[in-house]
Amino acid sequence: MSISRILKVLGVILSLLALLAYVGYLAVYIVYAVDLFHWPFDYDQGEGFELYDAILYARGEWPYKDNAVYPYYTSNYPPLFHLLIIPFLPIFGPRVVAGRVVSFVATLVTCGAVSAIVRRRAGGWFIPLVSGLAYLASPYVYQTGPLCRMHSMMVMFETLAVAFVAEFQHPRHGTRNLVLGLLMLLCAGYTKQMAVFTVAAALSYVSLRDVKKAVISGAALAAVAGVIFWLLNAATDGQWWVNTIQANANEFEYLQTLASARQWFELHTLFILLSFAYLIYELFLDRLSAYSLWFFFALGTGALSGKWGAGFNYFTTAIAAACVCSGLALGRLVSSRRLGIGDWRSLFTARGPRSAIRSLQSTIRNLKSAIRSLAIRRSVSVVRPILMVLVPLLYLWQAPRMLHLPTAGPVFGPVAEALGVGGAVTETDCMAYPYYDKMGYTQLGHLLTEDDYAAGEEILAYARTSDGPVFSEEAMFSLLIGEPVVTNPTQLRNLYLNGLLDTTDAVERVNRQEFGLIIFRARFYPDPVLQAVGQNYTTVERVCMNGFNYDILLPRRLLDGAQEQ
């Protein structure tokens, strides 16, 4: 058996193993998503607020309101994600599973789009398939994908936008692709504001190829987005501007950005290195594609992870871009038409940088034409099998760097043992969950337990028997008993820190002990409100649910009255 044949057989075996690893991640992701679909409470703080925005839209109400007025609730995000939840409300009811299903489907669409892009450009099936599955294998995507949060939907629109814009010079469908790409960018921006970086990437790409079209496209996009912006602001008496722009100007900690970037690199090393290599290759030796430009600009989204309230999911766009670029890079590597290795020796005999670069360009042209000759084809016949082994090996090397899975149960228990993480637990504030994540400490990703469900019902019992509105840091406790949501705490905090919130009315209501129940988790409220609560409410119980301590506070009038009796 020849070396070439041995390598090909080995390559097939390694490819199947790599595919098994990434399909395994898909299975873990689906199990986690289904587990979340059953959970009626907030799993991540903020989910209930996104659902409530959808409920308000379904009732014909704007969620952008004056936070100084009861119930002190407003949204700080654009509307598209919430509008897309509305069709699911009649199916699931006003339950957070509606938003989770929408977000989960968005991640699947993104996975499919990544695969389709790589397949279209690089051909084959293995690299496109793994590129798409790699997106879902990322711990960042895994943990946040099935949440009722808009970030995954934004990334979906961004991916589709770049896919369309990349083909804006198609001889038959160029104009259609450009229009669809701009539409996807508009959708991305009105899902979450951070999509601005992808807008910059897409318009930069068009500029490089056709400045006139870029100017027209940019102007058209700005005009449409601007009109929508103005209409929203006018319809909400200026609350749109205050709550979606001014309130989001939070304090920035660059060390948090650096720490997040380091973790992002450690978890996604292969994809990031290949993407940088692809970017550098296109920048100096070829033409910049929309995808490498997208990867570059997506780093800006990740840079914002140092903002208060931001998290690792700010790197999700960059992960999608890296999955595309790494797939394209490997696809180019294995394609025999593009083995432009180059003769670097001439760089050392050239006189000066201009001469060196001209030598390099000439060598590359000569090498490309030599590749077409029979002599080179013979070496390619060995190189290709080597690449067939190398590519799946690279994916297998990367796979454990993103390891995350439950570590208990009839299936995951033995699998975790086999992978060397059997019995591993994730410690939270008040509980340990049988879950392993390469990220280390995480608040997300673990499956829920019977104790969590019991704790949720215990807190809900307090809400049902409250003799006044429920002032809750998480919205689902109010929504599950059919009550309006009172406060969006992080939004109130952001507005207060930016000098944009009058807490007088809220403090007075707390002082009058109008709220029959207060539920705290992280106490992300303005200081005056917290002080008033401290003076008028007493913690009667602390309940551990989903790894967090929930403080149950009752008004002192109830407790004083009980003591008198």
Partner 1 sequence: MVTKRQLGIIVVVLALLGVVGLIGVDLIGVGEWSGFGPLQQIGVGLGGMAIVVGVILILLGNRPA
Q: In the complex with partner 1, which residue's Cβ is closer, 284 or 397?
A: 284
Q: How many chain residues touch partner 1 (CB under 8 A)?
A: 13
Q: Is 539:551 a contact under the CB 8 Å cutoff? A: yes
Span near partner 1 by CB under 8 A; candidates 20-28, 282-290, 445-453, 531-539: 282-290
Q: In the complex with partner 1, which residue's Cβ is closer, 125 or 284?
A: 284
Q: Is 515:509 a contact under the CB 8 Å cutoff? A: yes
Angle between helices 316-334 and 374-398 (to 10 degrees): 150
Span near partner 1 by CB under 8 A; candidates 87-95, 133-141, 202-210, 341-349: 202-210
Member of 59, 172, 287, 351 binding partner 1 (CB under 8 A): 287
Structure tokens at 534: 């401290």
215 forms part of the interface with partner 1 (CB under 8 A): no
Site string for partner 1, 340-359 (x = CB under 8 A): -------------xx--x--
**Closest distance to partner 1 from the beta carbon of 111 (Å):** 31
Q: Which residues are CB-contacts of 436 (< 8 A; sequence separation ≥ 6)?
A: 403, 404, 405, 406, 407, 416, 421, 424, 425, 426
283 forms part of the interface with partner 1 (CB under 8 A): yes
**Closest distance to partner 1 from the beta carbon of 208 (Å):** 5
Member of 12, 31, 200, 288 binding partner 1 (CB under 8 A): 288
Scan residues 181-200 and list those touching partner 1 (CB under 8 A).
none
Member of 230, 284, 344, 397 binding partner 1 (CB under 8 A): 284
What does the longest C-alpha to C-alpha distance in the chain come to?
A: 100
Span near partner 1 by CB under 8 A; candidates 40-48, 209-217, 238-246, 459-467: 209-217
Member of 1, 59, 171, 254 binding partner 1 (CB under 8 A): 254
Q: In the complex with partner 1, which residue's Cβ is closer, 149 or 307?
A: 307
**Closest distance to partner 1 from the beta carbon of 349 (Å):** 17
| 83 CB burial (10 A radius; 0-12, 13-18, 19+) | middle
Member of 13, 69, 211, 432 binding partner 1 (CB under 8 A): 211
Q: Is 200:295 a contact under the CB 8 Å cutoff? A: no
Closest CA to 505 of 64, 63, 71, 49: 71
The residue type of 456 is G
CA distances to 81, 106, 225, 349 from 187, in Å = 9, 13, 10, 53
Member of 208, 304, 376, 424 binding partner 1 (CB under 8 A): 208
Q: In the complex with partner 1, which residue's Cβ is closer, 173 or 209?
A: 209
**Closest distance to partner 1 from the beta carbon of 155 (Å):** 25
Residues 243 and 66: their CA atoms lie apart, in Å, by 9
Q: SS3 for 435? A: strand
Residues 255 and 259: their CA atoms lie apart, in Å, by 6
**Closest distance to partner 1 from the beta carbon of 287 (Å):** 5
Q: SS3 for 268? A: coil
338 forms part of the interface with partner 1 (CB under 8 A): no
Q: H/E element holding 64?
A: none
Q: In the complex with partner 1, which residue's Cβ is closer, 353 or 440?
A: 353
Q: What is the DSSP string of 315-333?
A: GHHHHHHHHHHHHHHHHHH
Span near partner 1 by CB under 8 A; candidates 178-186, 208-216, 381-389, 489-497: 208-216
* HSE-up of residue 390 (Cα within 13 Å, Cβ side): 11
Q: In the complex with partner 1, which residue's Cβ is closer, 210 or 483?
A: 210
Residues forming contacts to partner 1 in the complex (CB under 8 A) are 207-211, 254, 283-284, 287-288, 353-354, 357
